[in-house]
C-alpha cells in the first residue's frame, strides 16, 4: 500500500522524509496510519502528491473530532459500504447508529460490528 509520511522515518536501509510516498506492506501501512506516522494516498494520484504543500494536506486530513449519525432501516448492503468507507477515509470520529426497526439480519450485523467499531447504537 502506498502512504504519505507525516514525519521523517528510517526504514532500513532507506531514510524517508516527511511528505515522501512510500510503498509498504498493508499491515505496516495500517499501523503507521493508526499511529499518525503516515496517511493514505490514492495510487492514481501519487505523481501529484509531491506538488502539494504537505502542511496544508496534514491540516486538512487531521480534523477535530466529529460525530457522525447514520439512520438505518434494512439497508444492509449500503450500511456495509458506509462502514467500509468510514474505516478507510475517516479519522477522529464518534459514530452513532440509529436503527429504526431493521430486520434481524441487519440487527445481527450491527451488533457484530459494534464490537469492533465501538459505536453507539440507538434502537
Residues 85-108 have pLDDT tens digits of: 888 878 788 999 999 999 999 999
Q: What is the dihedral of CA 86, 50, 15, 29, to 10 degrees?
A: 10
**pLDDT tens profile 50-96:** 444 444 455 555 667 889 999 999 889 999 998 888 888 787 889 99
Match 464518534 to its residue by C-alpha cell.
Answer: 94
Q: Report DSSP letters for 16-46, one per residue.
A: E-TT-EEE--HHHHHHHHHHTSEEE--GGGT
Residue with cell 506538488: 51
Amino acid at each position: 500500500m502506498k502512504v504519505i509520511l507525516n514525519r521523517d522515518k528510517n526504514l532500513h536501509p532507506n531514510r524517508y522524509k516527511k511528505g515522501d510516498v512510500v510503498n509498504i506492506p498493508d499491515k505496516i501501512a495500517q499501523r503507521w496510519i493508526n499511529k499518525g506516522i503516515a496517511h493514505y494516498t490514492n495510487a492514481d494520484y501519487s505523481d501529484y502528491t509531491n506538488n502539494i504543500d504537505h502542511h496544508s494536506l496534514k491540516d486538512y486530513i487531521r480534523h477535530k473530532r466529529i460525530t457522525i449519525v447514520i439512520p438505518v432501516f434494512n439497508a444492509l448492503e449500503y450500511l456495509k459500504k458506509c462502514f467500509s468507507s468510514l474505516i478507510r477515509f475517516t479519522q477522529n470520529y464518534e459514530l452513532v447508529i440509529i436503527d429504526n426497526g431493521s430486520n434481524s439480519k441487519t440487527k445481527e450485523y450491527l451488533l457484530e460490528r459494534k464490537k469492533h467499531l465501538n459505536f453507539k447504537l440507538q434502537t
